[in-house]
């Protein structure tokens, strides 16, 4: 899919868009905004990116929760048979008895090279990157819908033109049929028109097929059954004009870097990788831990009740631990090396994304100028062939022109009309790609 050709169409849905009317697709004609909303709700790429964002949010929340000290309550009850140590008397006995223990403990890591802080920063940046990546994925889904939507409109316009063309040929065949019956026209002219009429009917059938395929592609982009996609609404004739000479590639690039979520996502991935590298290095530091708790025991050999034994046998403890990695340094160094590779990869990806964007923007300015110039030429061409056909038609009906020259003039006019339709959409596509890079499209604000 050529992004240069499909990005700009997005603006059309907001030039004549009406509020979205639920999720139904039958009945009223669909506008582009409705199609995009359906795709966002049903398309796998859009929904999957949302799930990835939710997963990143959970990871970020978990990283913060690791700062909370652990708290654990434990209750045990044992049934013993044979020679065992009585937990109350601490003597060996050889009889059947029951025993139990209870404890409440807490523990926390006081310091390990600020690993927890770096992990929180890593997951925070990763979450923000996932949000930007979700926006980028939704944009990609939107662009797929826009491309399919534009193909439907193009096929529909071409089909309408072909119907007019077929009707014009049919009228000529009907007129020359009477002349042929009366011997007032050359047989070759008559059969040329009948052959052209048959060709036009086949061309109409081909365009019906193209239109049907375009509607199927639109349904596929929205991930809905093909028979539920009704007629689509036109973009409208009015659209804003941009003066290519007033734009520069550097200015557009600066705007795109600030507005496009793809660029933001790559920069956030770099921040996440840097924090991950610091977290990996923190494992080289000694680990200082803290623990505290209460514990008690119970035995059936005692004359006291369960609750009295629990109270009387209560013990308390407070502990500190210092773990110094020795051999583990080898594994930590491997983790640090992996983190460095991930950081380098993130930096290369960000640089590659920006380089591709810069090249695309430079080409987009050229495409805009060429598309605008081509459309003006196509308009002039269509006007000239229209006049040429008008003259040819008058001469043919007056018997002053043969069918070959008449059909040549007619086919030239028909081709000019078709090229003008294509050129109009091409110019619009190139026109609004500039607004896309500048972040001026209304849907870009809606995405945020």
Most confident of 162-171, 209-218, 228-237, 426-435: 209-218
Whether pLDDT at 208 is above 90:
yes
Say if residue 167's pLDDT is above 80: yes
Beta pairing class for 287-299 and 83-85 = unpaired
- Sequential DSSP letters for 92-131: EEES-EEEEEEEEEEEEEEESTTHHHHHHHHHHHHHHHHH
Map tokens 């949010």 to a residue.
Answer: 57
Q: Is the pLDDT of residue 394 over 50?
A: yes
The angle, 0 to 180 degrees and rounded to 10, between the axes of the packed helices 32-42 and 187-222 is 50
pLDDT mean over 410-423: 88
Give the pLDDT confidence score for residue 445 in this predicted structure. 54
* 32-79 per-position pLDDT tens digit: 888 888 888 898 888 888 899 999 999 999 888 888 888 888 888 777
A 10 A CB-CB count for 391 gives 12
pLDDT at 2: 43
291 beta partners: 107, 319
pLDDT tens digits, residue range 232-244? Answer: 888 765 544 555 6
All structural domains of the chain, each given as residue ranges with its CATH number in brackets, are 3-66+118-283+334-447 (1.20.1600.10)
pLDDT of residue 430: 79
Average pLDDT, the chain: 81
Write the CA distances from 316 to 101, 103, 106, 313, integer angstroms.
Answer: 14, 10, 12, 10
Provide the percentage of residues in the chain whose pLDDT is more than 90. Answer: 21
Q: How far apart are the first and last CA of the chain?
A: 25
What global pTM score does this model have? 0.75
Report helix, strand or coil for 315. strand
DSSP calls for 214-237: HHHHHHHHHTS-GGG---B----S
For 29, 45, 131, 141, 320, the CA distances from 42, given in Å and listed in that order, are 19, 9, 19, 10, 54
Confidence band, pLDDT 50/70/90 cuts, at residue 344:
very high
Q: Is the pLDDT of residue 325 over 90?
A: no
**Sign, Cα dihedral of 105, 106, 112, 115:** positive
30 pLDDT higher than 70:
yes
Contact (Cβ atoms closer than 8 angstroms) between residue 68 and residue 74: no
Examine the pLDDT at 14 and tell me if it is beyond 50. Answer: no
Phi, psi of 298 (to 5 degrees): -145, 145
Provide the pLDDT confidence category of residue 9 given band limits of 50, 70 and 90. Answer: very low
């Amino acid at each position: 899919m050529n992004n240069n050709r499909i990005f700009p169409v997005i603006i059309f849905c907001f030039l004549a868009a009406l509020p979205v009317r639920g999720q139904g697709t039958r009945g009223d004609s669909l506008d582009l905004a409705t199609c995009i909303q359906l795709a966002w709700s049903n398309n796998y790429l859009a929904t999957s990116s949302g799930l990835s964002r939710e997963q990143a949010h959970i990871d970020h929340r978990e990283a913060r929760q690791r700062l909370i000290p652990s708290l654990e309550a434990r209750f045990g009850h044992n049934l013993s048979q044979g020679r065992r140590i009585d937990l109350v008397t601490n003597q060996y006995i050889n009889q059947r008895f029951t025993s139990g223990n209870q404890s409440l403990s807490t523990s926390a890591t006081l310091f390990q090279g600020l690993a927890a802080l770096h992990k929180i920063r890593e997951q925070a940046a990763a979450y923000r990157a996932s949000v930007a990546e979700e926006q980028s994925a939704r944009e990609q889904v939107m662009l797929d819908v826009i491309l399919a939507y534009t193909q439907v409109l193009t096929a529909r316009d071409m089909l309408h033109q072909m119907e007019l063309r077929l009707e014009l040929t049919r009228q000529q065949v009907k007129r020359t049929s009477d002349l042929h019956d009366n011997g007032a026209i050359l047989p070759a002219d008559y059969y040329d028109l009948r052959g052209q009429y048959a060709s036009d009917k086949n061309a109409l059938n081909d365009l019906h097929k193209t239109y049907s395929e375009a509607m199927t592609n639109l349904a596929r982009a929205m991930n809905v059954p093909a028979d539920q996609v009704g007629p689509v609404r036109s973009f409208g004739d009015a659209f804003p004009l941009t003066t290519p000479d007033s734009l520069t590639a550097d200015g557009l690039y600066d705007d795109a870097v600030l507005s496009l979520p793809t660029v933001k996502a790559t920069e956030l991935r770099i921040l996440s990788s840097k924090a991950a590298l610091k977290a990996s290095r923190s494992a080289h530091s000694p680990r200082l831990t803290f623990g505290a708790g209460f514990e008690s025991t119970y035995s059936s050999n005692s004359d006291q009740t369960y609750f009295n034994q629990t109270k009387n046998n209560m013990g308390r403890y407070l502990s500190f631990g210092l773990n110094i990695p020795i051999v583990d340094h080898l594994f930590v160094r491997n983790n640090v090396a992996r983190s460095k590779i991930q950081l380098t990869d993130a930096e290369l990806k960000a640089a590659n994304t920006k380089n591709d964007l810069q090249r695309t923007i430079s080409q987009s300015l050229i495409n805009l100028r060429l598309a605008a110039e081509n459309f003006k030429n196509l308009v002039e061409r269509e006007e000239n062939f229209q006049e040429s056909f008008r003259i040819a038609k008058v001469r043919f009906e007056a018997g002053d022109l043969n069918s070959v020259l008449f059909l040549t003039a007619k086919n030239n006019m028909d081709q000019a009309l078709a090229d003008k339709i294509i050129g109009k959409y091409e110019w619009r596509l190139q026109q609004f790609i500039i607004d896309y890079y500048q972040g001026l499209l209304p849907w870009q604000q809606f995405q945020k």
